[in-house]
Amino acid sequence: MSVPIAGVGMTPFGKHGELTARQLFAEAALEAFEDAGIGPNDVDEVFYGNFMGEFAEQQGHSGPLAADMAGVTAPSTRIESACASSGAAVRFGVNRVRSGEVDVALVGGAERMTNISTAEGTAALAAAADALWEIKQGITFPGAYSLMAQRYFHEHGGGREDLAAIAVKNHQNAVENDLAQFQRAIDVDDVLEAPTVCSPFGLYDCSPMSDGASAALLVSEEFAEEHGLDPEVAITGTGQSSDRLALADRVSMTSTPAAERAGEAAFSEAGIEPEDVDVAEVHDCFTIAEVLALEALGFYEQGEAISAARNGETTIDGDLPVNLSGGLKAKGHPVGATGGAQISEMTKLLRGDHVNSDAVADAEVGITHNAGGTVASCVVNVLEVVS
């Protein structure tokens, strides 16, 4: 069952100084209300994604707080699924509207990360890994994904130049996106010569620490009709899956079955195949993550997506443009806001009011892929033009 997206909102991602996550969410929600042409009193339920509020702001229990800041008195729950928190919040909203119990769901998320040091942020993010078997051994997320990249090179070939092409592509896509943290083009040499973060990753293989928020208003078709709304884009399929948290407990370090299962479920609900997808926003927290996502979603066989960006297949003028927002790499990655931001950017891309919409003017079907940890959680949503 299709769930129309009546409105979306998103703060610029980047450094927001003294602004708290609650203030950022209020900004994104206000924009979504204006976009939809409805108000806080219309909302029946709120699902708010946030991962590290306790670490960065000493703030837990942020569901009611987020609703209050958006002027909403309806029930509100925080959804925590690491970097997939707001993708999961979107999915909860979709399913509540589909259940018929809710006509309007406000979904999205926020994160504040730059008010703490990189070292503190790295420790906070590491809590999304297995405390017993990974964190105690000193694993960090750049470390975990670099192990996956090394293993991928070992099993399938490819190298740093292939990953560099992904960073170059995503930075290029963000150049005109005012909401992106980095609006500057880089070239392959910039990537290869950047300081090493964790081999094989340099600075430009990594998403940054970011502040920001995202929001979307999901409505029932009956509500849209009764209120004279005419949403152009709807969520037509949603899927979520989980995997073992620790990399060492997995059968393979170079495949992401949670994303495979989430993708299959979302595609099946929407009644589409991978070849029907015109444009994709995928979770490129590190360059290798984009490769793993494209393979898990069935766009490429295992071991083949590594050269997709380098061959121009996923660039803005390629067969399947990927991360036209700039992705997490260049748009930024305030973790609890990211899944909702993918919905906001994809909605605009399909409606024709995104700065990169012209590149996908005929696009009818878009997908978002939002992952938590080393893809121990994954949410995939299918968005389609419906009017």
- At which residue do the structure tokens 């849209």 appear? 224
The answer to whether 206 is a known catalytic residue is no
Which position has the token pair 């399929």? Answer: 237
Q: Give the distance between the most distant pair of CA atoms in the chain.
A: 57
Q: Is the dihedral of CA 185, 191, 194, 195 positive or negative?
A: positive
Which residues, other chains included, contact 284 with Cβ-Cβ below 8 Å and sequence gap of 6+?
166, 170, 207, 290, 293, 323, 327, 328, 329
**Cα distances (Å, whole numbers) of residue 340 to 191, 272, 336, 337:** 28, 22, 8, 6
Name the active-site residue from 16, 83, 171, 283. Answer: 83
With CB under 6 A as the rule, give the number of residues binding ligand COA.
16
142 binds ligand COA (CB under 6 A): yes
Q: Check residue 172 for interaction with ligand COA (CB under 6 A).
A: no
Q: How far is CA 78 from the centre of its chain?
A: 17
Element (H, E) at 10: strand 3-10
Report how far residue 144's alpha carbon sits from residue 202's, in angstroms, rounded to the nearest whole number: 14
Q: Which of 13, 47, 51, 182 binds ligand COA (CB under 6 A)?
A: 182
Query: Which is closer to ligand COA, CB of 181 or CB of 344?
Result: 181
Residue 23 CB, nearest distance to ligand COA (Å)?
A: 22
d(CA 211, CA 114): 6
The residue from 16, 171, 283, 333 that is catalytic is 333
Q: Is position 51 an interface residue for ligand COA (rule: CB under 6 A)?
A: no
Q: Is 141 in the site for ligand COA (CB under 6 A)?
A: yes
Which helix H or strand E contains 373, and what residues bound it?
A: none
Residue 335 is given by DSSP the state G
Least distance between ligand COA and beta carbon 211 (Å): 12
Nearer to ligand COA, 129 or 297 (CB): 129
According to CB under 6 A, which one of 26, 209, 217, 293 is a site residue for ligand COA? 209
Which residues within the stretch 69-128 sit at the binding site for ligand COA (CB under 6 A)? 83, 118, 122, 125
Window contacting ligand COA (CB under 6 A); options: 154-162, 201-209, 316-324, 344-352: 201-209
Q: For ligand COA, which stretch binds (CB under 6 A), given 206-214, 248-256, 269-277, 306-314?
A: 206-214
Residue 349 DSSP SS3 = helix
Residue 312 Ramachandran class (φ > 0 left, ψ -120 to 50 alpha, else beta): left
CB of 82 to ligand COA, least distance (A): 7
Decide: is 197 part of the binding site for ligand COA (CB under 6 A).
yes
Least distance from ligand COA to the Cβ atom of residue 84, Å: 10
Q: What are phi and psi of 337, to 5 degrees?
A: -100, -15
Minimum CB separation of residue 127 from ligand COA in Å reads 11
Among 62, 207, 325, 370, binds ligand COA (CB under 6 A): 207
Cα(298)–Cα(300) distance, integer angstroms: 5
Told to check if 314 binds ligand COA by CB under 6 A, we report no
Binding mask 244-283 for ligand COA (x = CB under 6 A): ----------------------------------------
The minimum distance between CB 286 and ligand COA, in angstroms, equals 7
Asked whether 22 and 110 are in contact (CB, 8 A), the reply is yes
Q: Which residue is nearest to ligand COA (CB)?
A: 118
**Which of 123, 147, 203, 229 lies at the binding interface for ligand COA (CB under 6 A)?**
203
How, if at all, do strands 365-372 and 279-281 pair? parallel
SS3 298: coil
Whether 83 sits among the annotated catalytic residues: the reply is yes
Q: Which residues are catalytic?
A: 83, 333
By CB under 6 A, name the binding residues for ligand COA.
Answer: 83, 118, 122, 125, 141-142, 182, 197, 203-204, 206-209, 285, 333
